[in-house]
Structure 1
Amino acid sequence: MNVVDRRWSVRLGATAGLLVTLVALLLAPATPASAHAVLVSSSPVASAVVPEAPAEVVLTFSESVRKVTGKIRVIAPDGSRADRGEPTFEGAVVTVPVDRAGPRGTYLVSYRVISADSHPVSGAFTYSVGAPSPPPTDSGSDSRANPVVDTGVKVAKYLGYVGLLLVSGAALVLAALWPQRLARRGPARVLWAGAGLLAAATVAELWLQVPYTAGGGPFDVTGAGFGEVLGSTYGTAHLVRLGLLAAAAFLLRPLTRGPVGRSDGIILAVLGAAALLTWPLSGHAAASPAPAVSVLVDAVHLGGMAVWLGGLVMLGGFLLRRADERELGAILPIWSRWAALAVAALLLAGTVQALIEVGGLAALLDTTYGRLLLAKIVLFALVVGVAAYSRALVRRRTAAGRPTPVRRAVWVELAITAVVLGVSATLVQTTPARVAAADVAGAPGGYFSTTLSSPIYSLQVELDPAERGNNSLHLYAYTKDNRPQPVAEWKATAALPSAGIEPIEIPLLPLTDNHATGEVSFPAAGEWQLRLTVRTSDIDQATVTATVSIK
């Protein structure tokens, strides 16, 4: 095959890969970008006591969510299933039909859904019909992540990053910096190893996403579950990545044999830039408050990392060992400028990314995501310091004659950045700090609810918002067999002994025979002591106490 025919076959293969990518994009579901979903409200409200059984349970999340088949359940007080039929999903609202003929007592609602950034969101809460009872258990709704799957997802993402930087570094150096006199066999092996690693990691991520979202072990993968993953934005982004990698392979092969033409180089650069976008489109960035900005800066961040670290691998593994003094004198200043641009892009994109995903200083210090980000910043500062040292060697023009100091600095950079990649792989699997710091749950933040028992009644106590300032107190009295208990007289006091605050009487207003409410103002934070007295007849009376943490 002559040179012209070979170039046409290369471009035909690249075009075929692009067509596969375009088909995957056209078949992708149109889902709106949204944040890492959390449950913001429910009906009935968590821990509420309702007089009659509801016909449905409504879950409202912070953003749109997707279904995980069979993972939304309502368990009756006797342990039986109370949900009837499939729940309906309308954006952020999930409606679960419930059997109204169920027994009185406490019901358990457990859920597991998928947020827009591909992460599972699970949890549970209770509500009571008529009166509280011992809550049931649901053996079929274990929301804990399988440790093998959880670790496997992080490892696959890490290997994907490694594959990306190997492909990027080898392709960049072979296209622009590789001396013509040197054989390309070694860098070619690195390039194909990186491409194979990237493809395998992408397939592994698709496979593991099934048990990761639905729960289960690494081999608990069904056709239906795999179909749901492939039909999601996450699956589409990974399929597009594989298609772009296949298209790029047709252009990478001639690059391993010699220089390629300008047009082929431009096509390869476009394919690489498009592939970079598949990472943020399948993660937190696409679900941030500013998705367009987040996707762009995340792709720039990833691209800067790939150019910098991939170039370091090629520099330390090949060029500093094989190139002569004259060649290094020409190569190292160019590489130094590239590295400086890549680091600048990393810093700028990382700063914007952190501002979006963290949102504030408290979230940076008080969340797992924030602490991981701080660790990444410290490691990055160390590696930038080492990089600055090696760049100084290049500027003094000592590297060409004595490349050993530069080679050592390069390997130190790579050792530290290997840890940075591990932190990054964990970071993308962690709830963003802006979400974790919000502390959103099924009930308002600080909401206090408990059930107190006495020899003659049980008392449901609800305090909202359990913070300094004005609070609403609700009391519900029940008999020992969970029937509404008529109350003749209510009394309540609040005290803070640690601050010397004596008992403050709380005026109570009876709303029904067994329900009373009142307003109380807590002037200071601390462990407040509630003392509640309920008289059920002329002679029957009992007092119960509760400790409430007021923030």
Structure 2
Amino acid sequence: MTDMTAALRRWFGRLSAATGLLFVLVALLVAPAGPASAHAVLVSSSPVASAVVPNAPAEVVLTFSESVRKVPGKIRVIAPDGSRADRGEPSFDGGVVTIPVDPAGDRGTYLVSYRVISADSHPVSGAFTYSVGAPSPPPVDTGDDNRADPVVGTAVKVAKYVGYAGLLLLVGPALVLAALWPRRLSRRGPTRLAWTGLGLVVASTLATLWLQVPYTAGGGVFDVTGEGFSGVLGSMFGAAHLVRLGLLAAAAFLLRPLLAGPVGRTDLVILGILGGAALLTWPLAGHPAASPAPAVSVVVDAVHLGSMAVWLGGLVMLAVFLLRQADERELGAILPIWSRWAALSVSALLLAGVVQALIEVATPSALVGTTYGRLLLGKIGLFVLVIAVAAYSRALVRRRTAAGRPTLVRRALWAELAITAVVLGVTATLVQTTPARTAAADTAGSAGGYFSTTLSSSLGSVQVEVDPAERGNNSVHFYAYTPDNRPQPVVEWRATAALPSAGIEPIEVPLLPLTDNHVTGEINLPASGEWQLRVTVRTSDIDQATVTATVPVR
């Protein structure tokens, strides 16, 4: 009867595992495909930010660097009087978002605010203004709750950290019990540790799914609606997390007999396949799935995560159990094998980390000039330190002193674990940070992008625009307005550009009138710095005013 019961349990476990694999295949087939980019950036808009258009447009078009998804109620156009100027729901076509607006809107400045979800599941928000006829004081979006709640942001990082910790606490005991655990020792401690790890991974997955709603939509931890939760579950992010839960449930049936005692090779193979498939759900829900090389990034990130779990999980088992309970003869057999496993895991970590860095950082300047790059440098520094400690442990094993003096190895292992705990924290922050390649491109676009300002004078105001505000050829536009923000006819325009810090004297800007209040010109700015753009406006034989704009040129 006992043999039959055991056989039924094994059969049920294998059936559950097969069901889990089938669930994975179906979920991956029906899950929406993600485009090859990450952290969307607004690359253009119509009307252009800060532009003055003669007539109210019938629509506002936002163009992002990648496909984006809708956050309900988070795209608005506010009229000069503070009312809503948008009409109906915006339409999404890849990276292009079209917002219908009232074509009979009033003159003045309009505010466009947006919040969308990029391909790597992170929210992207921003705002800009444009004016119809003439600028006016910009309106305030009283319904704007696009700001991220810092509590939610911190909670997301904590949840991810808990998931990483749970993963290594699950993998370490399972691996050591399957291959290195002495038969005479009790399995109770490692079994509890493994179930704790499984519980932490499940709790982290559920918490991350919940937090994704306010993280993408804005609001507090409990600002979760049915529509928002449904949107998360219907995304690649939600599908990956649901698949992970299914795989963990299937693996639990095979994990129970493994933790109780030795199991057959077939069960180990199925458990390994389930574990490998579960590892893929982490990169599928983050930056790697939306990188320029998604297939490579997903596999590399899974290898990176799996190597980390094997190495650190094994260290926990050695420090907490084996070095305390195993005798000298058992340690003499276990430690050389573990040393080889650790060496392979570290090698895989290094290789996967290099590939990840090349994909996510792309340039040396992005490595030192972005938050992501600096966090990565910090992680590398900590990793070098922990490698040095691991090398000391490996030297003890090679000299055959570890079994006789386990205290030395135990201290080295605790040092490794302490440092890698910090590494896990940095990793949890990294996965929530804009990739360096995207951040660098966004910074470059902002620094050398469109410049616009409105300057007051005794005759009214002058709007100054410089595009692209960087070294080389630039287009300038000047608009004149009366004190009541109506177009001001100008008899004569004069403009000069100078860079006093570099000794560049004023350069005359040739101007071409387009309307009675608008002129344009082309000028070459040969150096970066704070350029002084001086504009003189003459509206009659005796009325004249001069304004000066400081234009940062990169």
TM-score range, shorter chain: over 0.9
Q: Deviations over 1:340-383 (max 9, x none)?
A: 00000000000000010001111010100000000000000000
Structural RMSD (CA)? 1.4
The letter of the residue matching 2:366 is A
Q: 1:53 aligns with which of 52, 56, 63?
A: 56
Aligned partner of 2:402 in structure 1 is 399
Q: Is the 8 A contact 1:525 1:550 kept in 2?
A: yes
Partner SS state of residue 260, structure 2: coil
In structure 2, C-alpha distance between the alignment counterparts of 1:313 and 1:530, rounded to whole Å: 64
Q: Is the 8 A contact 2:36 2:293 kept in 1?
A: no
Q: Is the 8 A contact 1:40 1:440 kept in 2?
A: no
Q: 2:139 aligns with which of 132, 136, 139?
A: 136
Aligned partner of 1:185 in structure 2 is 188
Q: 2:235 aligns with which of 232, 237, 241?
A: 232
In structure 2, C-alpha distance between the alignment counterparts of 1:41 and 1:398, rounded to whole Å: 65
**Aligned positions of 1:64-463 closer than 5 A:** 64-439=67-442, 445-463=448-466
In structure 2, C-alpha distance between the alignment counterparts of 1:471 and 1:5, rounded to whole Å: 77
In structure 1, C-alpha distance between the alignment counterparts of 2:226 and 2:451, rounded to whole Å: 44
Aligned partner of 2:66 in structure 1 is 63
Q: Deviations over 1:383-404 (max 9, x none)?
A: 0000000000000011111100
The letter of the residue matching 1:428 is V
Q: Deviations over 1:59-103 (max 9, x none)?
A: 010000000000000011111100000000011110000001111
In structure 1, C-alpha distance between the alignment counterparts of 2:165 and 2:358, rounded to whole Å: 26
In structure 1, C-alpha distance between the alignment counterparts of 2:298 and 2:281, rounded to whole Å: 9
Q: Deviations over 1:441-493 (max 9, x none)?
A: 99783322110111212111011222223221111111112211111111111
Q: Does 1:479 align with 2:471?
A: no
Structure 1: segments with no counterpart, 5+ residues? none
The TM-score with structure 1 as length reference comes to 0.98
Q: CA deviation at 1:33?
A: 4.0
The TM-score with structure 2 as length reference comes to 0.97
Q: CA deviation at 1:35?
A: 2.4
Q: Does 1:515 align with 2:493?
A: no
Q: 2:37 aligns with which of 34, 48, 55?
A: 34
Q: Is the 8 A contact 2:308 2:345 kept in 1?
A: yes
Q: CA deviation at 1:256?
A: 1.2
Moved more, 425-434 or 447-456: 447-456
Partner SS state of residue 201, structure 1: helix
Q: Is the 8 A contact 1:106 1:134 kept in 2?
A: yes
In structure 1, C-alpha distance between the alignment counterparts of 2:362 and 2:293, rounded to whole Å: 12
Q: Is the 8 A contact 2:38 2:435 kept in 1?
A: no
In structure 2, C-alpha distance between the alignment counterparts of 1:500 and 1:292, rounded to whole Å: 52
Q: CA deviation at 1:174?
A: 0.5
Partner SS state of residue 390, structure 2: helix
Q: CA deviation at 1:19?
A: 3.9
Q: Deviations over 1:208-264 (max 9, x none)?
A: 000000001010111111100000000000000000000100000001110110000
The letter of the residue matching 2:521 is G
Partner SS state of residue 191, structure 1: helix
Q: Deviations over 1:283-341 (max 9, x none)?
A: 00001001011011101100110000000000111011111111101000000000000
Q: Does 1:494 align with 2:497?
A: yes
**Aligned positions of 1:514-533 closer than 5 A:** 514-533=517-536
Partner SS state of residue 439, structure 1: helix
Moved more, 417-426 or 436-445: 436-445
In structure 2, C-alpha distance between the alignment counterparts of 1:145 and 1:484, rounded to whole Å: 39
Structure 2: segments with no counterpart, 5+ residues? none
In structure 2, C-alpha distance between the alignment counterparts of 1:422 and 1:237, rounded to whole Å: 22
In structure 1, C-alpha distance between the alignment counterparts of 2:137 and 2:178, rounded to whole Å: 69
Q: Is the 8 A contact 1:369 1:431 kept in 2?
A: yes
Q: Is the 8 A contact 1:40 1:443 kept in 2?
A: no
